[in-house]
């Protein structure tokens, strides 16, 4: 076993389906131990939605730490990165009132539309919050809960995000950070404070919300928890959302684009300027430091493509070039473009279309949705040929990597470091412990280093097909949404983006 050079820190990634923990040597970035334990995601009580019991996250975290052995008991600091947007409702005793509504639960689409309209439209939201909320955002989920489960809302004594919940279990104090809270919809990036008018529209008392900690503050220390293999008194950093933690884990500098391929797909970059996109394509998040993290997200990424591969009876790498098929894999509705009630759509089949070509079309559809937002995420002065840092589970796949190269026309770099969310949380813990900038800590650990792949000519024909089909399929993709909103005999369309202008 390697002999640690510096104090040990723990980084946690509490993701949609599991908790992962890394014990890292803060001096070198060497991962000394790792653990992982699953938790369950289920549908809502009506068979829809995506929910998870917060107490399972805690149990999974404890098990992941136990798998780290004695190293976890020697840690001097810990930080938690968690899935963004989830609505955690706690009673006065700190127990969950109901399962948490997760980021990919889009039942709150009607409440989202109401909130956008009542505040004055997309531009009002972008100017104030930095983002036009999607149904993923926490504020829309609370509005849904108030409307559909009023007894649960009345029983709620505290509202938390997933990483807040775990941090509070560690310290005994309620807190959050500016990065993760910027994805709620009730924190205004313009003032860096909770927005009381938005909270009033959603029917949420600010007394239920945690204190927002600044970069470099500690959330507290680990309290006496006999069942948890961490030393009592270890420092606990603020923690942050998973995308913010991954940006820390890469040690990102402004203008470096990242494309993350996981259950969801994201494209983002650190920015020195506060983003505010009234089209709703780009979410104007804060990062985990003092800058910003403009980001676009798709709900359907690796999981959706794997489902198409399973339907075709093929391995995920068994793609074939050519053909005219276009597949928009919006299996769970979609966030970018804003089509919460959409389903998957396949167009352009011919007698000679092969299963491998259909599978490649699924990859193309997933990547296209992310790349359409890339130019809006990057600032105008960003280098047009800057390499895309490709991360997430999909980054390991040849088919994903080659699809990104072919459709982006950019060089691609795949960092060797894995578990970047947990590594970013570890860098945050190390920065707090050592008094360093956590992004500089990650750069010292060389987390972004990895193989590079040169740019190839962009496949303009495929991009044109995808753009045309997405535009022409407006009626099909938005039909469920419009049928819910339209009175009998009414005419008109919500438009492809479904946004109120």
Catalytic residues: 242
Rounded to 5 degrees, φ, ψ at 139 are: -60, -35
Coil/strand/helix, residue 155:
helix
Q: Which two tokens stand for residue 274?
A: 């506060």
Residues 6+ apart with CB under 8 A from 346: 325, 326, 327, 328, 358, 361
Cis peptide leading into residue 337 (ω within 30°): yes
DSSP string, 228-271: S-S-TT-EEE--EEHHHHHHHHHTPPTT--EEEESSSEEEE--B
Element (H, E) at 441: helix 438-444
Contact 15, 242 (CB under 8 A): yes
3-state DSSP of 184-199: CCCEECCCCEECHHHH
Q: For residue 330, how many other CB atoms are within 10 A of its CB?
A: 26
Pairwise CA distance, residues 410 & 408, whole Å:
5
Pairwise CA distance, residues 162 & 88, whole Å:
7
Pairwise CA distance, residues 180 & 101, whole Å:
16
Contact 452, 422 (CB under 8 A): no
Contact 71, 32 (CB under 8 A): yes
Identify the burial level of 108 via C-beta atoms within 10 angstroms of its C-beta, where 0-12 means exposed, 13-18 middle and 19 or more buried. buried
Pairwise CA distance, residues 146 & 153, whole Å:
6
Q: Report the chain's terminal Cα–Cα distance, integer Å.
A: 60
| Residue 207 per-residue DSSP state | G
Of the candidates 285, 393, 396, 283, the residue with the CA atom closest to the CA atom of residue 13: 393
Of the candidates 468, 329, 293, the residue with the CA atom closest to the CA atom of residue 403: 329
Q: If phi over 0 gives left and psi between -120 and 50 gives alpha, with beta otherwise, what is residue 236?
A: beta
Residues 6+ apart with CB under 8 A from 274: 130, 189, 190, 284, 292
- Quote the radius of gyration of the chain (alpha carbons, Å): 22
Pairwise CA distance, residues 64 & 425, whole Å:
15
**Residue 462's Cα: distance from chain center in Å?**
27
């Amino acid at each position: 076993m390697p002999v640690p050079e510096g104090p040990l820190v723990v980084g946690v990634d509490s993701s949609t389906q599991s908790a992962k923990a890394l014990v890292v040597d803060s001096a070198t970035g060497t991962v000394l131990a790792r653990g992982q334990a699953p938790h369950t995601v289920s549908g809502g009580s009506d068979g829809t939605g995506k929910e998870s019991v917060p107490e399972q996250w805690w149990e999974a975290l404890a098990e992941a730490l136990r798998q780290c052995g004695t190293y976890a008991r020697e840690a001097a600091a810990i930080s938690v990165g968690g899935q963004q947007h989830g609505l955690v409702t706690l009673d006065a005793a700190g127990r969950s009132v109901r399962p948490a509504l997760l980021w990919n639960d889009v039942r709150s689409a009607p409440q989202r539309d109401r909130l956008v309209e009542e505040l004055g439209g997309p531009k009002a939201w972008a100017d104030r919050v930095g983002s036009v909320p999607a149904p993923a955002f926490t504020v829309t989920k609370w509005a849904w809960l108030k409307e559909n489960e009023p007894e649960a809302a009345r029983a709620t004594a505290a509202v938390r995000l997933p990483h807040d919940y775990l941090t509070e279990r560690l310290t005994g104090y309620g807190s959050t950070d500016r990065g993760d809270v910027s994805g709620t919809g009730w924190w205004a990036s313009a003032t860096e404070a909770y927005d009381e008018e938005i909270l009033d529209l959603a029917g949420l008392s600010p007394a239920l919300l945690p204190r927002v900690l600044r970069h470099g503050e500690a959330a507290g220390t680990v309290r006496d928890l006999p069942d948890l293999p961490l030393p009592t008194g270890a420092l606990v950093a603020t923690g942050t959302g998973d995308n913010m933690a991954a940006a820390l884990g890469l040690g990102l500098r402004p203008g470096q684009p990242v494309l993350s391929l996981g259950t969801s797909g994201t494209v983002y970059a650190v920015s020195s300027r506060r983003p505010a996109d009234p089209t709703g394509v780009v979410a104007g998040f804060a990062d985990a430091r003092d800058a910003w993290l403009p980001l676009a997200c798709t709900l359907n990424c690796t999981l959706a493509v794997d489902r198409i591969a399973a339907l075709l009876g093929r391995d995920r790498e068994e793609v074939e070039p050519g053909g005219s098929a276009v597949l928009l894999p919006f299996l769970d509705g979609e966030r970018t473009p804003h089509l919460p009630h959409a389903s998957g759509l396949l167009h352009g089949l011919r007698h000679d279309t092969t299963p491998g070509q259909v599978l490649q079309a699924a990859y193309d559809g997933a990547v296209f949705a992310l790349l359409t937002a890339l130019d809006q995420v990057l600032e105008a002065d960003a280098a047009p040929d800057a390499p895309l840092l490709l991360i997430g589970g999909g980054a390991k796949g040849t088919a994903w990597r080659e699809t990104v190269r072919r459709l982006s026309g950019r060089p691609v770099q795949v960092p060797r470091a894995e578990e970047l969310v947990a590594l970013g949380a570890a860098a945050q813990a190390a920065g707090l412990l050592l008094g360093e900038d956590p992004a500089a800590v990650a750069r010292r650990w060389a987390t972004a280093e990895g193989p590079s792949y040169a740019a190839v000519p962009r496949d303009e024909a495929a991009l044109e097909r995808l753009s045309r089909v997405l535009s022409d399929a407006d009626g099909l993709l938005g039909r469920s949404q419009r049928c819910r909103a339209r009175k009998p005999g009414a005419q008109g369309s919500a438009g492809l983006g479904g946004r109120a202008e």
